[in-house]
Amino acid sequence: MSKVILPRRQLIARAGGLIAAAGALPLLPGCDAINDAPAVRKILSMGEEMNRAAQRALIDRDALAREFSRAELSPYFRPNGTRLPAGAVYAAHAAGGFADWRIRVAGLVARPLSLSMADIRAMPQRTQITRHDCVEGWSAIGQWTGPQLSGILAAAGVRDSARYIVFRCADRLGDALYYESCDMVDALHPQTIMAWALNGALLPIANGAPLRLRIERQLGYKHAKYVNAIEAVASLDGIGAGKGGYWEDRIDYEWYAGI
């Protein structure tokens, strides 16, 4: 560090910076105006893009979420979001043990499918004990069983032009049925399964019966419950308001929820 002894100098000019710094304090109550400004929102959304790009670069396509032992299961797996879809149609399905539930596989596929729960259970199965991370901050560990989404997409002959997979759900939240989407990296990931069992029993209604998505490297709201359609699309533009998911379209949750 260089040390210089200087003759006297005016100090007032240098206090200018101090006053400028103090001047920023009254801005604090204006924070919400800043938060709501369109330009600021645009800048804020850069973070999502940076996180997605960084994580896609850093995480191997097939890098697995940690799997746990049965001893590490949460004593109770907390349900969240819809706990019981409203309406007579769903109630009738539930009363009938979802025997007539169909999962439509459509969009950019060579062979559109309409799968029953028996079809789903007849496919090769994967069982995994993973940690579910809610965007709110809590975590629960559960054991999930179901076919890999990649197997379902292969059976339907998903086309190369498909860039996203959209999940349609039977639960209505406010003004719309729930929906979510993911890109092909996560759709084809080995741990991405359509689960019909939790902890060795049929999936409870509160957790998404009869079928829900498990997309283990992303947060809980991506894990669509009560799924009745799987669509392959080239763009998210025509889905809801175009951001790819129910919460993404309504309150600006990130579409890429790996963090």
**Chain positions contacting other proteins, by CB under 8 A:** 1-8, 11, 14-15, 17-18, 21, 31-32, 35-36, 41, 43-48, 50-51, 55, 58-60, 63-66, 68, 72, 74-76, 78, 131, 133-141, 216-219, 247, 251-254, 258-259
Return the number of the residue (59 or 89) whose C-beta is nearest other proteins: 59
Output the smallest distance, CB 209 to other proteins, in A. Answer: 20
Output the smallest distance, CB 119 to other proteins, in A. Answer: 30
CA distance 118 to 105: 15
Output the smallest distance, CB 198 to other proteins, in A. Answer: 14
Return the number of the residue (63 or 176) whose C-beta is nearest other proteins: 63
Return the number of the residue (136 or 160) whose C-beta is nearest other proteins: 136
Output the smallest distance, CB 5 to other proteins, in A. Answer: 5
203 Cβ contact partners less than 8 Å away, ≥ 6 residues apart: 195, 196, 197, 209, 210, 211, 212
Going 230 to 232 to 238 to 242, the CA torsion angle's sign is: positive
Output the smallest distance, CB 66 to other proteins, in A. Answer: 5
What is the phi-psi region of residue 99: left when phi exceeds 0, alpha when psi lies from -120 to 50, beta otherwise?
alpha
CA distance 220 to 245: 12
Return the number of the residue (55 or 116) whose C-beta is nearest other proteins: 55
CA distance 195 to 188: 15
Q: How many residues does the chain have?
A: 259
* Residue among 127, 129, 128, 135 at smallest CA distance from 80: 135
Return the number of the residue (2 or 111) whose C-beta is nearest other proteins: 2
Going from the C-alpha of 83 to that of each of 78, 138, 170, 225, the distances in angstroms are 10, 17, 12, 10
Output the smallest distance, CB 95 to other proteins, in A. Answer: 28
Return the number of the residue (171 or 216) whose C-beta is nearest other proteins: 216
